[in-house]
Amino acid sequence: MLDNKNILVTGGTGSFGRAFVRTILAQYPGVRRLVIYSRDELKQYEMSQEFSPQVHRCLRYFIGDIRDAARLRRAMEGVDIVVHAAALKQVPAAEYNPFECIKTNVLGAQNVIEACLDSRVSNVVALSTDKAAAPVNLYGATKLCSDKLFTAANNIRGSRDLRLSVVRYGNVIGSRGSVVPFFLSHRAKGFFPITDPTMTRFNISLEEGVQMVLWALENALGGEIFVPKIPSYLITDLATAIGPECEQRVVGIRPGEKIHEEMITTSDSLNTIDLGPYYAILPTTADQLSEEYLTRRGGQPVEPGFAYNSGTNPDFLSVEQLRTLIRQHVDPGHQA
């Protein structure tokens, strides 16, 4: 699928970008060019120490911001595939600096789309978040806007051989800025701040996220939002897995935070198809897509009123399972 292809990853120095690059270099040695596009020169330097362009001749480190449309167009010259992972993701920072979040997550997303339309890009997958479903915070609202932009861009591709789709998944265990590293760093204090003892979250590993993106690149028709079937966990169980001896202090919900996360709302159910390992939320006017998935790909429509919620998810991780996942997916120097 990726042999002899030119690939660009926005936000390529982030947690996902690093895992994606590692996977591509290991599994697809025939890739022609792999461009890491990001705005932080220090992170690019640090990443180049692990993934050297002298060793991996396909690598290119390209400094640029997705807010800069001209730079994006330059970076996408000759690119076949774009994986859009760049975003401002911290909920409190977005609440305090709303328009900065909009500039990157909404206007930046449109810049990516227009650069793809102006270039010869053939396949685009944008990363989303569970917070984009029925958003209550600005970060989720900007990612919902981004999702809509990418799916609707298929309407204006004209005669171009171009497909744009979205993957939406939950919290990535151990990713930078997520709850697991926070709890691990807080463990020495002897207590964990718990926003609400009933809080739940979805869970996915970086490797699973990367494989989902690769699956979407190979299987998407354009316009879909793909959602994985993944387990949930209780925030109190996560705290117990990391520091069973630590006190759990209830501190209340932060601004813009949910008790439970959703990835598919009841309103989405009329356009959602079960594909086995994944769900696909189709555009409301996508009769042709629906026919393809239902008749040729073995998909099944979900029940009207169906919702995919971390609190009602039938699959929950136990304390021991969480502890095992942390050992597998988090830096060995900070394991539970």
DSSP state of 296: I
Torsion of CA 59, 64, 67, 70, to 10 degrees: -90
How far is Cα 231 from Cα 57, in angstroms, rounded to an integer? 38
**Backbone conformation region of residue 206, classed left if phi is above 0, alpha if psi is from -120 to 50, else beta:** alpha
The three-class DSSP label of residue 37 is strand
- Rounded CA gap, 333 and 245, in Å? 19
Q: Cβ atoms within 10 A of the Cβ of 74, count? A: 13
Nearest to 320 by CA among 242, 251, 261: 242
Structure token digits, residue 170: 């939950």
> Distance between CA atoms of 259 and 50, rounded to whole angstroms?
38
Residue environment code for 188-200, b if the CB has 16+ CB neighbours within 10 A, otherwise e: eeeebbbbbeebb
Helix (H), strand (E) at residue 131: none
Q: Which residue in 130, 147, 92 sits closest to 259, CA to CA?
A: 130
Catalytic (active-site) positions: 131
For 124, the token pair is: 């685009």
**8 Å CB contact between 23 and 99:** no
